[in-house]
């Protein structure tokens, strides 16, 4: 059962809602309504649609006003701020997950790729709810405090560069070797394959990553390799 004390969540978010149901609906995944068709609120997909647009505009405006960098660089920075990995991490950081209304199946599936997108979408839904309840200034303030505050870390750690490129640059700098990747296993039907890929420096296997495509598994392996090497 999801947590129901929204006052605690409001305190964590730093936002007080005039209409608590606006926040509550932002936490309702479509799957929950399949099992609870008599639930008095709808799902959060329309709020997510709205929140996604508000998030992108606030981030874009901030980057445009504060940085003279070329469009291509700003686009990469924005992507690093609003992608599913970042938003799902922020959702977990703010402890939103226990408040989500999910089906029994979705509730059990905690570590899948699908859960990451559910969390990222919920974060966008909450932004949409803040915009509906408190207007542009409230949504902008929340995004500045919770999302744009991550920009210094993104720039310092060059997280706007994909992990494969970062690991290749680091490997060439530290050991003068270009990483190579090898598929270690693949399983599942064609429409839902799961790949396991190893990343190597010469003959040394540095890390392993998994994904629904070879590229996704390579990126995961490179990200893990950066952690292992502390580069």
Residue 48 sits in a domain of what CATH number?
A: 1.10.1520.10
Residues 52, 97, 106, 224: which is the catalytic one?
52
The DSSP letter of residue 203 is T
Question: pTM value?
Answer: 0.81
Same domain for 13 and 53, yes or no, is: yes
Asked if residue 116 and residue 168 are part of one domain, the reply reads: no
Last residue of some domain: 135, 156, 177? 156
The answer to whether residues 15 and 22 touch, using CB atoms and an 8 Å cutoff, is: no
pLDDT, tens digit (0-9, with 9 covering 90-100), for 115-132: 889 999 999 999 999 999
CB 96, CB 74: distance < 8 Å: no
Please indicate, yes or no, whether residues 178 and 135 belong to a single structural domain of this protein: no
SS3 22: helix
pLDDT band at 78 (very low <50, low <70, confident <90, very high): very high
* Plot region of 200 (φ>0 → left; ψ -120 to 50 → alpha; else → beta): beta
Instruction: Quickly list H helices, 14-100.
Output: 20-26, 30-35, 45-66, 71-82, 84-93
Above 80 in pLDDT, residue 112? no
We report the CATH number of the domain holding residue 208 as 3.30.160.20
Is pLDDT above 80 for 109? Answer: no
Q: Any catalytic annotation for residue 145?
A: no
38 is catalytic: no
**In this structure, is residue 102 part of a structural domain?**
yes
Domain containing 110 equals 6-156
Which residue from 91, 96, 60 is spatially nearest to 78, judged by alpha carbons?
60
Tell me which of 97, 106, 124, 133 is the catalytic residue. Answer: 124
Instruction: Tally the C-alpha atoms within 13 A of residue 69's C-alpha that lie toward its C-beta.
Output: 14
Task: Locate 11 and state its tokens.
Answer: 């305190």
Question: pLDDT, tens digit, for every residue of 162-205?
Answer: 899 999 999 999 999 999 999 999 998 887 789 999 999 999 99
């Amino acid at each position: 059962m999801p947590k129901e004390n929204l006052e605690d969540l409001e305190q964590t978010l730093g936002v007080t809602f005039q209409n608590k149901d606006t926040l509550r609906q932002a936490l309702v995944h479509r799957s929950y309504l399949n099992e609870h068709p008599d639930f008095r609120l709808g799902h959060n997909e329309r709020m997510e649609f709205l929140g996604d647009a508000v998030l992108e505009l606030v981030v874009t405006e901030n980057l445009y006003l504060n940085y003279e960098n070329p469009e291509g660089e700003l686009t990469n920075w924005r992507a690093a701020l609003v992608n599913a990995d970042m938003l799902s991490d922020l959702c977990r950081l703010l402890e939103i997950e226990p408040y989500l209304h999910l089906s029994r199946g979705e509730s059990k599936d905690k570590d899948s790729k699908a859960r990451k997108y559910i969390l990222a979408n919920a974060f966008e839904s909450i932004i949409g709810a803040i915009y509906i309840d408190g207007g542009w200034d409230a949504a902008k303030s929340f995004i500045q405090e919770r999302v744009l505050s991550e920009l210094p870390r993104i720039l310092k750690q060059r997280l706007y560069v994909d992990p494969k490129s970062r690991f290749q640059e680091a490997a060439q700098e530290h050991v003068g070797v270009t990483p190579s990747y090898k598929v270690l296993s693949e399983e599942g039907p064609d429409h839902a394959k799961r790949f396991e890929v190893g990343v190597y420096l010469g003959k040394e296997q540095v890390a392993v990553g998994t994904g629904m495509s070879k590229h996704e598994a390579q990126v995961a392996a490179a990200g893990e390799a950066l952690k292992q090497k502390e580069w």
